[in-house]
Each structure stands twice: as structure tokens, then as C-alpha cells.
Amino acid sequence: MTLLEVDDLHVEFAARGLDNRVRVASALNGVSFKVEAGEVLGLVGETGAGKSLTALAAMGLLRPPARIPRGAIRFEGRPLIGLPDSAMARIRGRRMTMIVQSPLTSLDPLKRIGDQLIRMQRVHGSASRAEARAKAEAMLAAVRIPDPKRRMQAWPHELSGGMAQRVLIAMALVNDPALVIADEPTTGLDVTVQAQVLDTLRDLVRERGLGALVITHDLGVVAHYCQRVAVMFAGRIVEDGPVREVFARPAHPYTQALIASTPGRIAQLGWTVTGGTPPDLYNLPEGCLYRDRCLRAAPACLVAPPRREIGPAHGAACHFAGEAA
Amino acid sequence: MTVARFLARRLLVAIPVALGILFVAFMLIRVGDQDPVAMLAGPMADAPMLDRIRAELMLDQPLLTQFWAYIQRAAQGDLGMSWQGNAAVTHEIAEHLPATLELVTLAVGLGTLIGVPIGLHAAQRPNGWFDQFSRFGSLFGFSLPTYWLGLMAIFVFFFLLGWAPAPMGRISMMVTPPDPVTGSVLIDSLLARNWEAAWSAASQLVLPVGCFTLVATAPIIKQTRAIAIEVMGSDYIRYARACGFPPRVIRRIAMRAALVPVLTFIGAEFTSLLAAASLIEFVFAWGGLGHWGLNAILLGDFAAVQGYVLTLAIASVLVFILVDLAVLLLEPRAQARG
Amino acid sequence: MSVTLPAPSAMDRVVGVLRRSPTFAIGFAILLFYAALAAFADLLAPLPPTLSFPYETLKPPGTGQFILGTDGNGMDVLSRTIYGARYAFGIAVPAGIIMVVVGIPLGLLAGWKGGWLDEVLLRVLDVLRAFPTIILAMAVVAAMGPGFLNVILVIGFLDSPIFARIVRAEVLALRNATFVRAAVAAGNPEWRVLLVHILPNVILGATAQLPLRMAWAVRISATLAFIGIGVQAPAPEWGAMIRQGAEYVISGEWWVALFPGLALIGMVLGLNLAGDGLSDLLDPKRRASGK
């Protein structure tokens, strides 16, 4: 069953500059992907590619001046765009939850950990206080926080970054959602802690058969924790497919560059890294957005490339996808 | 972390600041060209007499010696004699302080009741029409001279309309004042069940408190708005939205988070109004500490000016400690910091 | 979207600023008005500000040539109120210059060098924060004696540490910025790093404060004159005029105190609006949160 389906999503920001001009930044330019039940999809790309924005749009958390001029988002078959707040509130935090990137500052500083977990349940359901307390404690144990009974009484400022991130995972899973969106869940953590936190998240997602969308700029995270991957560039998905497939036969030049630039692979595969900046979002060029940085750019690239199937469930938005480099 | 240890630590920080304030005041009035001796001795005094008074007041000693002697005596509760009232400074302060506290407490209390909700509401939609309106209003309040506002209020409500009593003191001269218990004429009259005095005291309070409240409200609106906007943009509020909390819950989280900084600001506001009260007291002949201190400054009454400044410094230290205590109770992070 | 727009004209920028911060626009317009009053007082005022008509004291507004009436000395209230703008600028501008000239270098050095200078500055700020500046100003002016110059000096120096604090905070934030470290590593002498790399980055934040501090200066100078220790009557200073008018309010001659008070409020409000709007325009963070 398809949990989350994003189809041709566009997001833009309109702002008036000091010179009284309205400037429109096209941040997402036709993003399409699906997350199936029980599947972990990695959304990968460089800073500014629109990964977090995609997550915010899916959660219905975009606020003006951001707006969605075109596209659709469906969750469990229901279109989310235009859904009234009251209906969205029954999905957000209950069926679809989010793990954010700055755990230490995201928890309510004036409430104990246990109470925050209890509030999360009671806001979204009719659990009694005692039930909610028992479940909160069980959840802390499930995210492998030692001595959960005592930790229920802890204040957020008493936690380490890794512990706080585990609490956020507990918050995200305590209501038994169908889909978890993890936005750069391990930035700012030590490498060893990163691995532990991600292991915990993967095990829980697997155990409970949840769908997950993991947003990261780290291909290593994708390789270890995801089944499928979607590569984003300048507000578009340039390549998507099963992780093994994409890593073994990257079809889009950007994916190739991304994989090549991951340390340890550069020498092995002999790809050169293409530098450069992302295109100006205020003034997007026609055609392929990657062509200024692309080694294979050709006159054909002045026309926007369609997604081309290369293998089973593997596609890339490049005119030359599938051809030998 | 016990409360006692916390208090001891705050006092250790506060005492040098209070001493610094006192030192500045002490030096300032002495390096000026006012000569209190001549004023004190009157026009008939001859040179030897002037010298004798000077020696009595230690004014012929080096400044640091004078300051040290003053500190020693102050530590024993002796702040010297006020020349204008010919009474002990401590006695004068005790007599005048309640009138000022009554005025400032009412103004800050009303200012909080009015300013905090306006600031919170304005922060809901930054740059919305209500925000622009309240911002203009608060900047206007910032620009009002209290004393002028007082004069205009006297003209309109006393002279033109005749609704307010004559702006002379805290109770009508035709009414017997109650025995001082708390020092607030209004509360004392109520305690004594002297309704006539209570009514008179209340009606004397209306104009000065009204003017003072207008001035006190402006910074509270501005600061509350800024704090609330910052809180609403914080990570934990964004996360609360991502958790799907309804607006009611989010508002409660934000209010609790804003409480501590707003409280801290109102504490600071209280101490600054304690000083600003001198002007409104001057206009309404209020006879409080501010009025007394202002006169001392104008007359070059050294001991009284020092006592006034010392009182303000101690009051500000006390208010900060009280605010810190409240913060300690409300804010788990402060307990960890100690 | 992909059409290239022509470069914005000066008019576009002006309109943009007005739209972005009507507060600044209104404040700036008010200040222009006051600047015109001060500059052209000789032309605008119907009478010399201290010319006394001994037989025309306390005439209500609209009596003969006295549009806003006369005060207790028989001087024209309108003319005196117009000339008052000169005193306001005459105090606020030099005091503002002192604040900038003393406060900015102090903050630069304290923030950059740290050490005892920083320590002393912080202590002074502690004292100033706990000590109501208005009382300090009164005490100093009372001690130094009344006079235009004393008022300027006291206001300028009392407010300098506040500027120093703003600049100091920004320097501290910039000290470890990559471009500053790069400048140091490239072998630039310290004074050059401070002047060329740090100063331009802190000066904007400080400028936004200037109108607000000048508003304070105008208010305090009027307050000092009102309690009788600042500029002295018959000089046409608004505070001194309100002081003169105070005794007549209770007997119903309202115009002597009313008009200088309104003029004072207008000027302070103009400065406050301009300063508040300016900090909005200059602070990209607040701009962004403004949505």
C-alpha cells in the first residue's frame, strides 16, 4: 500500500525586496516520489536542494510566504493539500510523525521528558494518564534509554544530544504512526552516537512495519539504512530507485558525482567531482537545472529531461540516462 | 542548591554594584560647585563658623576618607542628617518611601495587566494591523514626558471638569488621615474602616497613577511582543506544531516560556520607575521618596542624595533577587545553573 | 520569472523602504519637519522668541498677533515653540556625536582586546543598569551647574557605554568569524583588522540605535530643564517652557505648557519611530520573522 505519494510538487516563496520588487524563489520544481508501507526511503541531496522543505510540505507545516502553486500530496490515499486544519491535526503527530534535527532545542524546555511523552499521547488520543505513563516508559525503554523510569523525570537540558534524539524518536513512535519522517536525524551527533541512534530507529521501524522517509545529505546513511533512495537537486528528484541499483549503476551525472565525492569511493571508481553552485532559485534556467555543472551537458539539455526508466523501479531525469558515459 | 545559598550568592554579586553606585553618587555631588556649608550656615555666618561646620561634616577631609567614614556609619544604619528636613536620613526615607511604593506598585501592576496581553496579541501576527497599531501606541507612550502628561491631566480633570481633587498630596487636607500602619494611605484607611479617608486617598491616586501607568505600559508592550515573537519562532514551538498539537496547547507552551523573561523585564521596569516617579510626584506634590530625593538633588543636600541613591540601589537589588527567586521556581534550567 | 528586470530605480528603493517600514517613513517625515523648523526658525516664527510684551502677558491663543498666545513674560508661545526645535537638535546632535565618538571605539577595543578594559566597561554597565540614568543625569547636572554645554556633555557621556555595549557584543560575535580570522592570518595589523574588517560590520547596528538614543537625549534635556537645572528660561527650550507653564495650568492658562509639550512629544516620537523602523530595516533576522 502506498503511504505517502508526492506528485509534481512545486513550492515557491514570494517576498518583496527593499527595492519594492516581488521576488519569487522557486524552491521545489516538480518533486515526485512514493513511500510504501514498511519501506524506508532515503531522500538525499546537498544543502538547499529542498529536502527539508519537502518534508515540511508533507507534514502540512508550510507557512506564508511559502506556497504550493502546483502538485499533490496524498497520505494513505487522501489528498492533504487544502485539507482543513482540524482534519490535518488528526494525521499530523498521530498517523504521520516527524523527527527533527535539533533535538536539544526542540523539546519543550519547561516540561519533563515523561510529561512530554504523555502529552503527545493525550493530545492525540483518549489514553488515560496511567496508560499514557506506562506507554511512555515502555517507549523510552524501546529507544534504549537506560533506566527509563528515572529518565521520565529528567528535564530536556539534562540530556545529551544522543539521548535527546532518542527521546524525539520515542515521541515520534509513541502514537504508533504509519509513517515517520526523519529530517537529518543525526546531524550534530558524534559518529558513534549517530550509528547507535540510526540503528535504534531502523530496528523500531522494521519491528513495527512502519514506512519511513529519511532525509540526509550522507550517502552512507542511505546505504546502511534505506531500501530505496531519491536524489534531489535544485528542487527536483533527479534519480530514484532501489539503493543497490542506484549505487551500482548511478544513471544521473549528479548522482554519479555525489557517489564519487563520498570519501573512500573516489579512488575506487575514478569519477571526477563536479563543483559549482546550485542554480539561482530566483531565476531558474529553462531545461535541465544541472547542466551548468554537468560534464555531459549537450544542446539537448536546454530541454527539460523527462524521467527515463533504466531498470525495475529505477529512473533518472537525464537525456543520457542509461547510456554509457 | 538551597535557596539560602542562592540568596547568599546573589548578594555577593549585588553588594559591589550597590557600593559602586553609592561611590559614584558620593563623588558626583562633592566635585560639583554647590557649597552646602554656606547654605546651611545662612548669610550671617562668618569664616570661623563656616570652617567649624565644614570640620563637623568632615567636608575638609580627603574624599576617600569621607567615603570610608560614610560607609562605616552606613553599615551601622546611620546615613547622616538631612539638612533640608533637619532630620535623620533614615527617618526621612522610612517616612517617604511608602508613598512612592504605592504609586509605582499600582502603575507597574496596571501596566502589566494592560501591556502583557497587548504585547502577546500583537506577537500573534507580526506586522498585522494590531501589531502596527500597538507598536505605534507603545512608541507614543515612550515619547510622553510624564510631568507634562500630569500637568495636562490636572488641567482637564481638575480645572476643566472638576472630577479630580486638587493635585496636592495623597489625601485631602479636609480629611483626617488614618494612623500609618502599612504606609499606604489607601490601605491604612481601609484597615481603619475610615471610608471617607479611603475615598479621598483613592481619588487622589487616580490621576498620578493613570499618567504613570500610561508611561509604564509602553515598554511592557514592546518587550512582551519581542519576547513572544522570539518564543513563537523557537525550535520547540516549531516542533510542537510538527507534533500536531492544537493551537490551544501551543499557546500554553509559548506563554509558559515567555513568562520568565517577561517577569525579569517587569522587575527591571519596577526599579526604573521607582526613580522616574520623582517627576510625577513633583507635579502632584505627592511627597514620596522621589519628590524628597529630587528636592535633595536640587538643594545639594548631600546626605539625603546619598540616602536616596542608596535606597534606589537597595530596592533594585531586592527586586532582582525576588525576580531571580521566582525564576528559580519557574525555570528548571535555572536550578541547574544555580 | 526568467525575464531579466531592469535595475531598480531610486524611486523603487524609496517606495520599497516606505512599504517595508511605514514606521521609519513616518518618523523620518516628522524629523524632516522639525529640521525645517529649526533651520528656518527665523523665517517661520512671527516674533523673536525672547521678545517680551509686558502688557500682553498670558493672552490666550488667537489674541491679536499671538496665534498660540503669550506666556507669563508676555513672550509669543508659537515663536518660542518653533525656536525650541533648535535647542532640541542643538542638544541631541552633539550628544549623539559624543555617544558615537566615545562609545564605538570603546566597544571596539573592549570587545577585541578583552582584559581589564572589557572588565571595567562591564562593571560600569552593571552600575548604569542598576542606577536609573535619569537620577544620575539630574545629580551630575545639579553638581556641575546648569548650562547648555553641561547638559550635552552629561547626556553624551552617560549614554556612551550603552553604545559601547552594542558594539562590544557585535565585535565579540565577529571576533571568531572566518573572514576576521583570515584577515588576521593574512598578517594584517590589528588596527587594520578592526577598522577595515570589523568596524564596517558593526556600524550599522550602532546606527540604528542612534535615533533612539537621541530621542532619549531630547527627553532628558527637557526633563532637566523642567526641574530647573538644565537650560534656563527665558531660553526657548521646551522643558523650560513647560516649567514656566506649570504654575498656570492650575489656574487655567493651559496654552503655555501645552504647545511646547506637544512639540517635544512630536520630536521624540519622530526619533523613536525612525529608530524603531531603522532597526527593522537593518536587521535581516527581524525582517525575515516579519513575514
Convert the pLDDT of each residue in B30-74 to its tens digit.
Answer: 776 666 676 666 677 777 877 877 777 777 778 888 888 888 888
Q: Rounded CA gap, B173 and C1, in Å? A: 77
Q: Are residues A99 and A169 in the same domain?
A: yes
Contact B312 C265 (CB under 8 A): no
Q: Taking the CB of residue C210, how many other CB atoms lie within 10 A of it?
A: 19
Which strand (E) or helix (H) includes residue A213?
strand A211-216
**Percent of the residues in chain A that have a pLDDT greater than 70, as a whole number:** 92
Instruction: Write the residue in C130, C239, C268 that is nearest to B143 by C-beta.
Output: C268
Question: pLDDT tens digits, residue range C132-178?
Answer: 778 888 888 887 778 888 889 989 988 888 888 888 888 888 888 88
Q: Is the ipTM of this complex over 0.95?
A: no
CA angle A205, A209, A215 (to 5 degrees): 40
Quick one: closest CA in B to C255, which residue? B152
Establish if B284 touches chain C: CB-CB under 8 angstroms: no
Name which of A210, A202, A142, A139 is nearest A179 in CA terms: A210
Contact call for C139 and B293, based on CB within 8 A = no
Residues β-bridged to residue A215: A43, A183
Record the cell numbers describing residue C72, joined without a space.
507669563
CA distance B4 to B338: 11
Per the CB < 8 Å rule, is B142 touching C136? no
Question: Residues with Cβ < 8 Å from C248, sequence gap 6 or more?
Answer: C58, C72, C254, C256, C257
% chain A with pLDDT above 90: 4
Q: Residues of B numbered 113-152 whose beta carbons fall under 8 angstroms of chain C's beta carbons: which are they?
A: 126-127, 132, 135-136, 139-140, 142-145, 147-148, 151-152
Residues A296 and A151 both lie in one domain: no
DSSP-derived pairing of the beta strands A66-75 and A236-242: unpaired
Q: Where are the alpha helices (DSSP H) in chain B?
A: 3-31, 36-41, 47-56, 63-75, 89-124, 129-143, 146-153, 185-191, 195-232, 235-242, 247-283, 289-299, 302-330, 332-337
Cβ distance B336 to A158 less than 8 Å, yes or no, reads yes
Cβ contact, residue pair B239, A155, below 8 Å: no
Q: How many CA atoms lie within 13 A of C159 on its CB side?
A: 29
Provide the shortest C-alpha distance from residue C29 to chain A (in Å). Answer: 19
- Same domain flag for A74 and A181: yes
Look up the domain containing A284 and give its range: 251-325
Instruction: Tell me the Cα Rg of chain C.
Output: 23
Check residues B276 and A64 and name the one with the higher pLDDT: B276
Highest mean pLDDT among A74-88, A280-294, C241-255: C241-255
A173 and A287, same domain (yes or no): no
Number of C-beta neighbours around residue A23 at 10 A: 15
Domains and CATH numbers, chain C: 19-283 (1.10.3720.10)
Which of A188, A210, A226 is the last residue in one of the domains?
A226
Domain-embedded: residue A289 = yes
Delimiting residues of CATH 1.10.3720.10 domain(s) in chain B: 89-337
Chain A positions contacting chain B at CB under 8 Å are: 59, 61, 88-89, 91-94, 97-98, 100, 102, 105-111, 119-120, 123-124, 155, 157-158, 171
The separation between CA C186 and the C-alpha centre of its own chain, rounded to angstroms, equals 40
Residue A180 in this model has a pLDDT that exceeds 60: yes
Question: If you measure CA to CA, which chain A residue comes closest to B235?
Answer: A106
pLDDT digits (tens, 9 = 90+) for A214-268: 998 888 888 888 889 898 888 888 888 888 888 888 878 888 888 877 665 434 4
Last residue of a domain, one of A192, A226, A260: A226
The whole-angstrom separation of Cα B23 and Cα B15 is 12
Query: Rounded to a whole number, what is the distance in angstroms from the first to the last CA of chain A?
Result: 36
Per the CB < 8 A criterion, the answer to whether B282 and C229 are in contact is no
Instruction: Assess contact for A139 and A221: CB atoms under 8 A.
Output: no
Nearest CA distance, C246 vs chain B (angstrom): 7
pLDDT tens digit sequence for B234-260? 899 999 988 889 888 998 999 989 988
Residue C280: other Cβ atoms inside 10 A:
18
In chain C, alpha helices (H): 10-20, 22-39, 41-44, 77-113, 115-130, 133-144, 148-175, 178-185, 190-192, 199-226, 238-249, 255-282, 284-289
Q: C185: exposed, middle or buried (C-beta count within 10 Å: 0-12, 13-18, 19+)?
A: exposed
In sequence order, the 6+-apart residues with CB closer than 8 A to the CB of A165 are A99, A103, A185, A186, A189, A197
How far apart are alpha carbons B28 and B10 in whole angstroms? 27
Which pLDDT score is estimated for A324? 55
| pLDDT of A273 over the 60 cut | no
User: Rounded mean pLDDT of C76-80?
Assistant: 92
- Residue B301, judged by CB atoms within 10 A of its CB (0-12, 13-18, 19+), counts as buried
> Do the Cβ atoms of B244 and A92 come within 8 Å?
yes
Task: Report CB contact under 8 Å: C16, A16.
Answer: yes
Cα A78 from chain centre:
20
Q: What's the rounded Cα separation, in Å, for the pair B325 and B291?
A: 31
- Is residue A97 assigned to a domain? yes
pTM for the predicted model, two decimal places = 0.83
Whether A314 and A166 map to the same domain: the answer is no
Establish if A123 belongs to a structural domain: yes
Please report whether residue A240 resides in a domain. Answer: no
Question: Would the CB atoms of A61 and B242 count as touching at under 8 Å?
Answer: yes
Q: Report the interhelical angle of C77-113 vs C199-226 (nearest 10°).
A: 140
In whole angstroms, give the CA distance from residue A196 to residue A218: 16
Specify the range with the lowest mean pLDDT, choosing from A55-69, C2-16, C201-215. C2-16
Which chain C residues touch A18 with a CB distance below 8 Å?
Answer: 13, 16-17, 20, 281
- Dihedral angle computed from the Cα positions of residues A112, A116, A122 and A123, in that order, rounded to the nearest 10 degrees: 130
Question: Which residue in B243, B249, B257 is closest to A110 by CB distance?
Answer: B257
Q: Tell me the CATH number of domain B89-337, given options 3.30.70.1450, 3.40.50.300, 3.30.360.10, 1.10.3720.10.
A: 1.10.3720.10
Coil vs helix vs strand at B186 = helix
Domain identity same for A202 and A63: yes
DSSP letter for each residue of A150-173: HHTT--GGGS-HHHHHHHHHHHHH
Residues A93/A123, Cβ–Cβ less than 8 Å:
yes
Confidence of residue C2 (pLDDT cuts 50, 70, 90): very low
Reading the block at residue C18, the C-alpha cell is 516606505
**How many Cβ atoms from other residues are within 10 Å of residue C106's Cβ?**
21
Distance, CA of B261 to chain centre = 19
d(CA B128, CA A64) in angstroms, rounded, equals: 13
Q: Is residue A2 over pLDDT 90? A: no
Both A256 and A187 in a single domain?
no
| CATH number of the domain encompassing residue A45 | 3.40.50.300
When divided into structural domains, chain A yields a total of: 2
- Numbered residues of chain C with Cβ closer than 8 Å to any chain A Cβ: 1-2, 4-5, 8, 12-13, 15-17, 19-20, 281, 291
Same domain, A88 and A29: yes
CB contact under 8 A, B159 and C227: no
Element (H, E) at A129: helix A129-142
Domain boundary among A211, A226, A241: A226
In this complex, is the C-beta atom of B235 within 8 Å of any C-beta atom belonging to chain A? yes
Q: Give the residue on B whose Cα is nearest the Cα of A92.
A: B244
The whole-angstrom separation of Cα B193 and Cα A208 is 72
Same-domain status, A10 and A108:
yes
**Chain B, 229-268: which have a CB under 8 Å from a chain C CB?**
229, 233, 268
Q: Could you tell me the CA-to-CA distances from B131 to A1, A304, C21 in Å, in that order? A: 48, 45, 13
